[in-house]
Amino acid sequence: MKISVAGTGYVGLVTGICLAENGHNVTCVDVDEGKIKIMQEGRTPIFEPGLQELMTKNKDRLTYTTDYKEAYKDAEVIFIGVGTPEKKDGSANLSYVFAVVDQIADSITKECVVVVKSTVPIGTNDKVEDALKDRLNGRLKVHVASNPEFLAQGTAVRDTLHASRIVLGVEDEFSEKKLREVYAGVDAPVVVTNRRSAEMIKYASNDFLALKISYINEIANLCEVIGADIADVAKGMSYDSRIGDRFLNAGIGYGGSCFPKDTKALNWLANFNDHEIKTVKAAIEVNDNQKLLPVKKAGKYYKDLKGINVAILGLTFKPGTDDLREAPSLVTVPILLDDGANVKAWDPVGVSNFKKRVEGDITYCDTIDETLKDADICFIFTEWPQVKELDLSRFKELMRTPVIIDGRNCFDIKKVMDVKGIVYDSIGRAAIDTRQ
């Protein structure tokens, strides 16, 4: 099948390459000439495990271009996978979506299905259909379908090729038939519903996971006060099949391109319709506060961070990605700089993007050892395998004052207690001081 994909970010590029892996001929379209040139040279512009290998493997079925007219004119299915960034009021910015809609209307020469894969507010697909019909004015028949993505950064390729489910929001048999052909090679449950329900499935799913994370973080904060251990609490909860063991890792909050944006967008949509989703509103507040927890914890050990040597391990919002969107480091590091701290930071893939987002006198290190050398306090913001596998004795050997604020609970408390001469303060567990 001849397919075009608008947008080459996480959603668009992963979708396009994985569709090629499933045997389709795919044209990926973007307005960014720099990104297109990189892809035409055979390289992926984003860091995502497994994506480069699939791009190389399927190079004969993949085309990258800025020429949308050529890309859309005879496509059977056109996926819209552009960004829908958060506006200042929390609503979703749909300008990129409708810019693509205009391009499609100017370009198509045959009946086709336009599939909105971007995360969009409920009712957007209806507006896309209206816009296309107005522009085409009966010249061609076009169908609009909703097909939300459920991929996570770091596991996006696996999530797409081995999907947990495929949701098809359709209003006619033609759209359903075409989309079933698109996904014929994917072994996953197919949920067929109307477009508005499909749009809501995406928001409801993401916001539920955000709620789960915020809930366990609230429980973790209470555990610290009453002397319980969140690791044991979460383990005890996980054996209940109704709860499960995923998204029960306490920490300093969620980040990325989905949860923060989608919780705010659903909250805005509810308010716009004179409705309130109190749980989602609370999750947003909990997550914002959780990101500040490391700095608050540091106050127990230093009254003033001016002149203090600070080591930062991890900048991205989670391991396996170079994405910094809504990462706790973006909140905390500027605070540390404003307080006069001397900051050294390490991340295996996120430094380049962090430099674009945060200005200041930061020393970026190539190794964890270099970052820890002579530090007075260490903050762990990302649970990279290199951090979790670190010998705890290295903190004692390398740091001037081995105080560790672990925002991701990377280490087992029992192992921490075996290391003499460190302070280890994590989330939802008692702080450990083995200096005496």
Quick: pLDDT tens for 265-323: 999 999 999 999 999 999 999 999 999 999 999 999 999 999 999 999 999 999 999 99
pLDDT > 70 in the chain, percent: 100
Beta-ladder partners of 310: 343, 377
pLDDT > 90 in the chain, percent: 97
Taking alpha carbons only, the member of 248, 209, 247 closest to residue 230 is 248
Predicted confidence at residue 94, as pLDDT, reads: 97
Asked if residues 255 and 327 have their Cβ atoms less than 8 Å apart, the reply is yes
Indicate whether 436 pLDDT > 90. no
CA distance 270 to 364: 42
Asked if residues 103 and 68 have their Cβ atoms less than 8 Å apart, the reply is yes
Predicted confidence at residue 23, as pLDDT, reads: 97
Quick: pLDDT tens for 134-187: 999 999 999 999 999 999 988 999 999 999 999 999 999 999 999 999 999 899
Q: Average model confidence (pLDDT) for the chain?
A: 96
All structural domains of the chain: 2-193 (3.40.50.720), 202-290 (1.10.1040.10), 293-433 (3.40.50.720)
Residues 6+ away with beta carbon under 8 Å from 427: 217, 220, 221, 224, 230, 250, 251, 252, 293, 406, 407, 408, 409
Asked if residues 4 and 78 have their Cβ atoms less than 8 Å apart, the reply is yes
Beta-ladder partners of 80: 6, 116
* Alpha-carbon 63 to chain mean position: 26
Secondary structure (3-state) at 3: strand
Give 60's DSSP letter: G
Quick: pLDDT tens for 226-280: 999 999 999 999 999 999 999 999 999 999 988 999 999 999 999 999 999 999 9
Complete edge-to-edge strand list for the sheet that includes strand 309-313: 362-364, 342-346, 309-313, 377-380, 403-406, 423-425, 432-433
**First vs last Cα of the chain: how many Å apart?**
69
Angle at 300 between CA 428 and CA 366, to 5 degrees: 80
Active site residues: 258
pLDDT band at 429 (very low <50, low <70, confident <90, very high): very high
Predicted confidence at residue 299, as pLDDT, reads: 96
